[in-house]
Amino acid sequence: MMPLDKPYLDVPGTTIFDADQSRIGYHLNQFCMSLMKAENRLRFKSNEQAYLDEWAMTEEQKKAVLSRDLNLCISLGGNIYFLAKIGATDGKSFQQMAGSMTGMTEEEYKTMMINGGRSIDGNRYIGSK
């Protein structure tokens, strides 16, 4: 059997949500999906740990959600469109969520975007300058 071709593994700072990521992230993402309902958002906010314990997520995934570490969530199979439901529950904008993964402050990230965004130069391949 041939492994599936993943030509995107050499793109820096990027995780492609493929079948393997989707498989490990299934319960994490479905938990996020549950936050589309207002009553679930309330229940989650009132006791996050208890709400997370209702889901067949790994302890590492639960910790990543509790600490709102979106990069860690993504490495554990989360997808940004699903994770965005956590941000929505917290009242965060998509820009705040995206910025939180870059190591920049909210203000630095916002300024970068107003100035035309992150340059593609040096950002095409891992290790490129």
Partner 1 sequence: MSKFKKNYGARITAGVFTSHVPAIGAAIDNAKTTEPYWQPLFKGYDFSKKWFKENKPDVIFLVYNDHATAFSLDLIPTFAIGTAAEFIPADEGYGARPVPKIIGAPLLASHITQSVIQDDFDLTIVNKMDVDHGLTVPLSLICGQPEKWPCPVIPFAVNVVQYPIPSGKRCFMLGQAIRRAIESYDEPLNVQIWGTGGMSHQLQGPRAGLINKEWDNRFLDQLIKDPISLANVPHIEYIREAGSEGIELVMWLIARGAMADLNGGLPPKVVHRFYHVPASNTAVGHLILENV
Q: Contact positions toward partner 1, by CB under 8 A?
A: 7-8, 11-19, 22, 26, 29-30, 32-33, 35-38, 41, 70-71, 74, 79-82, 84-85, 87-89, 93-95, 97-99, 101-103, 109, 112-114, 116-120, 123-125
Nearer to partner 1, 26 or 66 (CB): 26
Those residues with Cβ within 8 angstroms of residue 23's Cβ, 6 or more apart along the chain or in another chain: 77
| Whole-angstrom distance, CA of residue 78 vs CA of residue 62 | 11
Pick the closest to residue 81 from 32, 45, 38 (CA basis). 32
Nearer to partner 1, 18 or 60 (CB): 18
Nearer to partner 1, 15 or 63 (CB): 15
Give whole-number Cα distances, 45 to 27, 51, 90, in Å: 19, 9, 9
Least distance from C-beta 51 to partner 1, angstroms? Answer: 15
Least distance from C-beta 99 to partner 1, angstroms? Answer: 7
Give whole-number Cα distances, 7 to 19, 76, 85, 107, in Å: 14, 20, 29, 34
Least distance from C-beta 14 to partner 1, angstroms? Answer: 5
